[in-house]
């Protein structure tokens, strides 16, 4: 059955002056206008067409790709506003209508808004900015308000995100066109703005079913992904980079867009696999000589001492040592140098 706002696999049935008629597996027909018919198209060809309604609310097919489908969210620009509502550019000849009743705030021409594609009570496609009607607050199965609700997403699962709103904590995002999630400021290490579509990950499914999000893979997978990027960068260059586990966090973030902790975990894994050498101010690709030296017992894969560890001063070392090694340094004596007055209590000497 044809459904406006979705794609359908169609077969070219016949050609008429107004275009080609397509037919689905159930025998329903829809017109593909002449301007949409591809060159060399013949009867019997299979086409993937998008179905929507024309100005007279009749099904019509197009081979153009709209920016949004039924049941999805997208960031669209308003191209016109009249007395009934706003019209948005969604990539098709007929603009997408947003009634005033479906607007959280009055939309203005030239501005973009995050909307959801749905149908009105007559079956016509409309957009709405009232996302909370359609986007669920909790990613759990039926019984969402009870303890028995099962999570529909797993920790670490890859998801599609659309950034919908800026908050004090970070950004609210729509996850897989279905659920709300939060991308916290501490987990953002790249430019993010409202309306962006991003690949992300479920950082944590909370006990209440709400989602914490991340733009980086979570846990061990994150380290593997980052390790791969580090190796690619080393292999694409001279095999050496002026960044190490003792480098400042902002320098690491500039190079790899990750936290210092994640970077240290990734290069630690590469180091254990004997793919790189970690030095105080740089990392480099391990050579065959390094591996031969390791087999010979010269230990080229032994990590150097941290660069920020200060050497103990000789005077301090001498003060903390003694001939027999058992005596503790003498405690400092405090002496009262004030002159004794009648109004001042004297300090009694301790009995030895």
pLDDT digits (tens, 9 = 90+) for 262-301: 788 888 888 888 888 888 888 888 888 877 777 776 666 5
Distance CA 262, CA 218 (A): 10
Which CATH number characterizes residue 19's domain?
2.40.50.330
Assigned domain for 146 exists: no
Per-residue pLDDT, averaged over 204-218, amounts to 88
Phi, psi of 281 (to 5 degrees): -125, 10
Residue 257: pLDDT band by 50, 70, 90 thresholds?
confident
Assigned domain for 87 exists: yes
- Single out the residue in 214, 240, 255 at which a domain terminates: 214
Q: Quick one: which of 83, 32, 41 has its CA closest to 60?
A: 32
- In this predicted structure, what is the pLDDT of residue 333? 56
Per-residue pLDDT, averaged over 166-177, amounts to 95
- In this predicted structure, what is the pLDDT of residue 146? 45
Per-residue pLDDT, averaged over 170-176, amounts to 96
- In this predicted structure, what is the pLDDT of residue 301? 58
Q: Are 122 and 178 contained in the same domain?
A: no
Assigned domain for 304 exists: no
Which CATH number characterizes residue 269's domain?
1.10.10.10
Lowest mean pLDDT among 9-18, 81-90, 144-153, 265-274: 144-153
Structure tokens at 129: 């900015």
The more confidently predicted of residues 253 and 69 is 69
Q: Does 197 have pLDDT greater than 80?
A: yes
Per-residue pLDDT, averaged over 187-199, amounts to 89
Assigned domain for 302 exists: no
Per-residue pLDDT, averaged over 111-132, amounts to 96
Lowest mean pLDDT among 10-14, 31-35, 251-255, 337-341: 337-341
Q: Does 311 have pLDDT greater than 50?
A: no
- In this predicted structure, what is the pLDDT of residue 297? 66
Taking the C-alpha atoms of 40, 45, 50 and 52 in order, what is their torsion angle to the nearest 10 degrees?
90
**Is the CB of residue 51 less than 8 Å from the CB of residue 1?**
no
Q: Does 312 have pLDDT greater than 60?
A: no
Distance CA 209, CA 212 (A): 10
Q: Are 238 and 180 contained in the same domain?
A: no
- In this predicted structure, what is the pLDDT of residue 315? 46
- Cα distances (angstroms) measured from residue 268 to each of 44, 115, 236, 271, 275: 58, 44, 20, 5, 10
Assigned domain for 153 exists: no
Q: Are 289 and 227 contained in the same domain?
A: yes
Lowest mean pLDDT among 141-150, 203-212, 255-264, 317-326: 317-326
Residue 330: pLDDT band by 50, 70, 90 thresholds?
low
- Single out the residue in 62, 93, 108 at which a domain terminates: 62
- In this predicted structure, what is the pLDDT of residue 111? 97
Q: Does 314 have pLDDT greater than 50?
A: no
Query: Which residues are registered as beta bridge partners of 88?
Result: 78, 96
SS3 35: helix
How high is the mean pLDDT of the chain? 83
- In this predicted structure, what is the pLDDT of residue 349? 52
- In this predicted structure, what is the pLDDT of residue 321? 46
Distance CA 184, CA 121 (A): 38
Residue 129: pLDDT band by 50, 70, 90 thresholds?
very high
- In this predicted structure, what is the pLDDT of residue 335? 58
Output DSSP code: residue 302.
Answer: S
Distance CA 144, CA 131 (A): 19
Structural domain that includes position 204:
158-214
Which CATH number characterizes residue 109's domain?
2.40.50.140
Assigned domain for 348 exists: no
Domain count, the chain: 4
Assigned domain for 344 exists: no
Q: Are 202 and 224 contained in the same domain?
A: no
Whole-number percent of the chain with pLDDT over 70: 80
Give per-residue pLDDT as tens, 143-165. 544 455 678 898 889 999 999 99
Does the model's pTM come out above 0.75? no
Whole-number percent of the chain with pLDDT over 90: 49
Q: How many CB atoms are located within 10 Å of the residue 341 CB?
A: 8
- In this predicted structure, what is the pLDDT of residue 323? 46
Per-residue pLDDT, averaged over 115-144, amounts to 90
Give per-residue pLDDT as tens, 34-56. 999 999 999 999 999 999 998 88
Q: Are 246 and 269 contained in the same domain?
A: yes
Tell me the CA end-to-end span of the chain in Å, nearest whole number. Answer: 104
Assigned domain for 345 exists: no
Structure tokens at 133: 């009607």
Per-residue b/e over 5-41, b at no fewer than 16 CB within 10 Å?
Answer: beebebebeeeeeebbbbebeeeeebbbeeebeeeee
């Amino acid at each position: 059955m044809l459904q406006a706002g979705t794609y359908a696999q169609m077969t070219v049935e016949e050609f008429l002056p107004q275009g080609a008629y397509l037919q689905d597996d159930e025998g329903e027909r829809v017109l593909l206008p002449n301007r949409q018919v591809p060159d060399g198209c013949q009867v019997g060809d299979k086409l993937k067409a998008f179905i929507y309604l024309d100005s007279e609310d009749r099904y019509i097919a197009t081979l153009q790709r709209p920016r949004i489908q039924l049941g999805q969210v997208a960031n669209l620009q308003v191209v016109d506003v009249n007395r009934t509502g706003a019209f948005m550019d969604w990539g098709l000849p007929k603009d997408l209508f947003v009634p005033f009743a479906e607007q959280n705030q009055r939309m203005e021409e030239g501005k973009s808004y995050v909307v959801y594609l749905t149908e009105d009570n007559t079956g016509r496609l409309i957009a709405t900015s009232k996302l909370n009607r359609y986007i669920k607050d909790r990613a759990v199965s039926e019984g969402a308000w009870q303890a028995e609700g099962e999570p529909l997403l797993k920790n670490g699962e890859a998801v599609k995100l659309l950034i919908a709103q800026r908050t004090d904590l970070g950004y609210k995002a729509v996850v897989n066109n279905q659920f709300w999630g939060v991308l916290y400021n501490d987990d953002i290490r790249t430019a993010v703005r409202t309306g962006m579509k991003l690949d992300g990950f479920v950082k944590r499914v909370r006990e209440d079913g709400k989602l914490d999000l991340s733009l980086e893979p979570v846990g061990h997978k994150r380290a593997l992904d980052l390790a791969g990027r580090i190796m690619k960068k080393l292999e694409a260059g001279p095999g050496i980079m002026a960044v190490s586990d003792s480098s400042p966090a902002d320098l690491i973030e500039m190079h790899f867009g990750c936290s210092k902790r994640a970077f240290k975990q990734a290069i630690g894994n590469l180091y254990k696999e004997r793919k790189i050498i970690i030095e105080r101010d740089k990392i480099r690709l391990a050579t065959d000589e390094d591996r031969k030296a390791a087999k010979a017992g010269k230990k080229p894969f032994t990590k150097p001492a941290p660069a920020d560890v200060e050497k103990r001063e000789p005077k301090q070392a001498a003060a903390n040592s003694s001939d027999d090694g058992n005596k503790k340094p003498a405690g400092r004596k405090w002496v009262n140098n004030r002159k004794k007055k009648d109004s001042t209590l004297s300090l009694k000497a301790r009995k030895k």
